[in-house]
Chains A and B, each alone.
Chain A
Amino acid sequence: MYVAVKGGEAAIANAHSLLADRRRGDRSVPALRLDQIVEQLALGVDRVMSEGSLYDRELAALAIVQARGDMIEAIFLVRAYRTTLPRFGYTKAIDTGAMLVERRVSATYKDLPGGQLLGPTFDYTHRLLDPELAAGGDVAEPLQRASEAEAMPRVSAILAREGLIEPDGDMPQDHVPGDITREPLEFPMARDIRLQALSRGDEGFLLALGYSTQRGYARNHPFVGEVRIGEVELELDVPELPFAVPLGSVRVTECQMVNQFKGSAKAPPQFTRGYGLVFGQSERKAMAMALCDRALRASEFGEDVVAAAQDEEFVISHSDNVQATGFVEHLKLPHYVDFQAELDLVRRMRAEHDARENAGKVEEKRQAAE
């Protein structure tokens, strides 16, 4: 027999209007505008775009407000919105070598073509809270320095000249890039699909896994060959035009991680690589992605798979925070019937247990009496 229980409609409606009220907060405080969030909480917006897997700053800002600043809820909102739109196609692959660079550092080469550009970084700040920000003072315009536009080749291209580093990752000629938004995950998976999953993966999860590889779980001696942040142009092939149509620019962060490799029966000793590419300005995420990408290539290099970060199914199946939060949070939804069944079971087991205990005690008494 199945008995449906209904109820709670009024409670749900009232809870949602209470949520709207609490979201707005004190009415004497001005409401946030989306452009304020886009401009002043830009890295939060970038995180929502990266893990929501949708590049649209205003939508990400709207999601952040609607979610009251709960980033995973905001990411969830953006993912849900994506499903309502038709897809026009796949862009041509971006060229990060042609990026309008806003930050570019290398930990492996001091003097590299284009130089080390610190850009708007938290590095070398003292991490002291700034009371002046709380007071809302004016901020000076940044300094400018006249300079010739310089080519900024990727660091991997410099090492490649000596043949001491593996090439950029290739796939067979006829390989069509996989798309996890179209096909279900299957293991083992090709590196292109893994990278798509990692690029939208949870920053905290990938950061922890990347950290674990540094602490000795799948050690692979990483160096940041390069991190670069900046805008790249997008182009799309469309049937109505004889050339790829330019769409505008998106900001991305790219990390080239360089790793030691002793060599194997098939490959000579050389540096191997992990790659990270994410929407927006997020070098922590791009670096964590690159560490995980390299760790997940263990079997490709004949390395023993001994650590969590090397376990493809473990990493990729648990990297999506929308899936993770869905399954964890569903536990709080009504499970009354399931729980009643479990409760009955535990009561029955307890009764049997008590009966055994009592029988034992009676037997003990009887023996003691004899």
Chain B
Amino acid sequence: MRGQEARDQAERKAVMATLAQSTGDDIVRLWNAAGLPSEAELLRGPETGLVTVRGRIGGGGAPFNVGEATVTRATVRLASGQVGHCYALGRDKQKAKLAAIADALWQDPALRREVETKLIAPLQAALAGARERRRAETAATKVDFFTMVRGED
């Protein structure tokens, strides 16, 4: 039971990560195409605020504050009772609201599969493609050292 709960939390976190990383435009486009319900009661926000980003001294030492970043958050409740949250970098309020609704819909066992296949999976594929392209472009600039042999034998 505890294992199942931990798996559910990890999956939900991955869904929230995908939504936070994606652009508002992509979410809206897929949302409309999928015809997902967008009615929900707004419990909080969408509102924009700041988080203070922390780094670590030397990369892995004690934490220190680097600077702030804008974050927009929203909390919604569906008619069926599920409460969804979103926190995402930037100031896109529509994205925050839709992402919170997506989080709530995902918690409804009847809708989870639809949210995953029609919204999350395409977003994930786009993000993975962009990451892979970035990695391959960077890899093309990798230095291949070779040794020059001088003289005979």
Contact = CB atoms under 8 A, between A and B. Distances in A.
Interface in A269-286: 273, 275, 277-279
Given A90-B54, A94-B54, A248-B89, A154 B142 contact: no
B61 A88 contact: no
A238 B54 CA distance: 15
B62 A273 contact: no
A196 B66 contact: yes
Contacts of B135: 100, 147, 149
B110 interface: no
B58 interface: yes
A233 interface: yes
Contact of B133 (A59, A144, A248): A144
A110 B139 contact: no
Contacts of A179: 52, 65
A56 interface: yes
Interface residues of B, number: 54
B3 interface: no
B137 A87 contact: no
A248 B136 contact: no
A184 interface: no
Interface string A96-114: 1100111100000011000
B17 to A, nearest CB: 4
Contacts of A181: 52, 65, 68
A337 interface: no
A90 B21 contact: no
17 contacts: A55-B67, A56-B90, A59-B70, A86-B49, A89-B52, A97-B59, A101-B138, A115-B143, A117-B138, A118-B143, A143-B137, A147-B142, A179-B52, A196-B65, A243-B9, A248-B20, A279-B66
Sort A-B residue pairs by CB-CB distance and give the 3 closest, nearest first: A168-B58, A168-B61, A169-B57
